[in-house]
Amino acid sequence: MSVIVRNEEGRLLLLSKGADSVMFERLAQDGREFEVQTRLHINEYADAGLRTLVLAYRELDEEEYNEFNEEFSQAKNLVSADREEIIEEVAERIEKDLILLGATAVEDKLQNGVPECIDKLAQAGIKLWVLTGDKMETAINIGFACSLLRQGMKQIIINSETPGIRALEKAGDKSAVDEAAKANVIQQISEGKALLNVASEDSEALALIIDGKSLIYALEDDVKDMFLELAIGCASVICCRSSPKQKALVTRLVKVKTGSTTLAIGDGANDVGMLQEADIGVGISGVEGMQAVMSSDIAIAQFRFLERLLLVHGHWCYRRISFMICYFFYKNIAFGFTLFFFEAYASFSGEAAYNDWYLSLYNVFFTSLPVIAMGVFDQDVAARFCLKFPLLYQEGVQNVLFSWTRILGWAFNGVLSSTLIFFFCACAMEHQAFRKGGEVVGMEIFGAVMYTCVVWVVNCQMALSINYFTLIQHVFIWGSIVFWYIFLLVYGAMDPNISTTAYQVFIEACAPALSFWLVTLFVTVATLLPYFSYAAIQMRFFPMYHQMIQWIRNDGHSEDPEYCQMVRQRSLRSTTVGYTARFSRSKLELPEQI
């Protein structure tokens, strides 16, 4: 970044600051007096984990400034797609021949809870990449501080600071520098892939660390697939000295090429492109301004709050939405197939099984509120267990609750429910006397009985599936059933021209008949019995993650380390970063050392 100022003496000064990798190449030959000492100081600061910047300046004459100001104003007023590139080109023409002033170092401590949060996210099966503008040594120290790196982990370091490239840079041959740097990056990526193949056979975790200059060539069209393949195979990826544009390009590469859902989190203006490129952008509000928050989808105050956002609310939200969609399929299939079976029963004569208002209000009043309440309030496990067992989040990563198997299973349950409802109702009421006088049912009574069974079954199915009952859910589930009977009373009491086939059906026909209540009870129990049996067997012999945690919670073993470890061993993804992985690795290496 640069600024042009006029001092008290009237002289025009260009003051610049930036990363050492960018600033040193912009220095004039007579402005490098303190370059060697500054490089040593910067390396010392970076080794100590400090964030470094290089400061430089140059004096401008009036003619040069006026020419630059005119070109810069024209570039800023452009409306073409390459506006930003043209602005950068104009700025680069004046940001040259600088005189080195020195370097600054600032301590930027990790926020509270960052290592613990990263460890939990790693256990949840989330792949973590660090895209930073810090110097490589600083980025590595931060990686160790937050347990993305650990002692003994092999590091694949890709950088362009080789003696050959430095010699070409001093010679000033830019095309030769680009060609040599690209070849060097490709060679290092190939060596890294070979090392990755060996490490995968030994189940050893690797870390990839790449600097901004190398990232320029790694993101080119003919290299980026190789780079992505290497990066995906590594446990940790740290891209240091990355520009805001590079952060956005890396995010886009991962999102497009892998098809994975990406989340970016940042707190500064240089993270805006990355936040907007990711599927989900999380901005941290803090001392670095509000640009990141204004450009993000979600705003949090500290990095550690990401743990609860994803592991608790993310898990609950995924489960609620998955079950809500599957349940909508179920309840509409259960209702719709009774119509299909009735049409087959009536030889496809076009006779309606239900009154028109029954059809209209099914998804409006009688079955909609319970599923909405479930989508807002349901919790399979409490928040503290979501944080204690991060592997619960892997149900979402592996899409366990919204797979085709799950969707088709609910659809089959809907077909089975409608089959049992229709044929039980038809067999129970087709020939037998419905009331004491010996009358058999008519079509309007048969439709009301079958509809009553559907309302009972789909609402009781919701009651069986909910894990966390609240007063609102009780009111919505049982209130929907009660409202159906109230509707029958009110609608059936209206003029026959309005109520048509529902006129006095409940008061005169259904309510006085004991068989109506017995059929409703029998059909509801018989229809829900297959699902109840399946759920009991699956819970007992093939429990899912959340069911195992429910099990140990109900048995009072939630604080037992042995039981907790048994649940954690069910994880399908081994944890390779975080302090949990570091401790696990230390335990494995301890017997070897003994």
Residues of each annotated binding site for Mg(2+)? 267, 271
SS (H, E, C) 151-189: CCCEEEEECCCCHHHHHHHHHCCHHHHHHHHHHHHHHHH
User: Is the CB of residue 97 less than 8 Å from the CB of residue 545?
Assistant: no
**What is the token pair recorded at 3?**
């600024």
Element (DSSP H or E) covering residue 265: strand 263-266
Residue 236 CA neighbour count, 13 Å, CB half: 32
Under 8 Å CB-to-CB from 439, ≥6 apart: which residues?
433
Radius of gyration of the chain (CA): 34
Give the distance between the most distant pair of CA atoms in the chain: 115
| Strand segments (E) across 333-438 | none
Amino acid identity, residue 134?
D
Measured between alpha carbons, how far is 231 from 211 in angstroms, rounded to an integer? 13
**What is the token pair recorded at 520?**
């409703």
Helix (H, G, I), strand (E, B), or coil: what is residue 33? coil
CB atoms within 10 A of CB 434: 23
Residue 313 CA neighbour count, 13 Å, CB half: 7
Residue in 476, 299, 520 with CA at minimum distance from that of residue 372: 476
Please report where in the chains the tokens 């945690």 appear, as a residue: 549
Write the CA distances from 137 to 44, 47, 49, 53, 554, integer angstroms: 9, 6, 7, 13, 49
Alpha-carbon torsion 452, 455, 458, 461, what sign? negative
Number of residues written out for the chain: 594
At 577, give phi and psi (nearest 5°): -130, 165
Residue in 515, 298, 523, 314 with CA at minimum distance from that of residue 424: 523
Q: List residues forming the annotated binding site.
A: 17, 51, 132-134, 241, 247, 267, 270-271
Measured between alpha carbons, how far is 195 from 157 in angstroms, rounded to an integer? 12
Q: List residues forming the annotated binding site for ATP.
A: 17, 51, 132-134, 241, 247, 270-271
User: Is the CB of residue 149 less than 8 Å from the CB of residue 253?
Assistant: no
Residue in 211, 209, 216 with CA at minimum distance from that of residue 192: 209
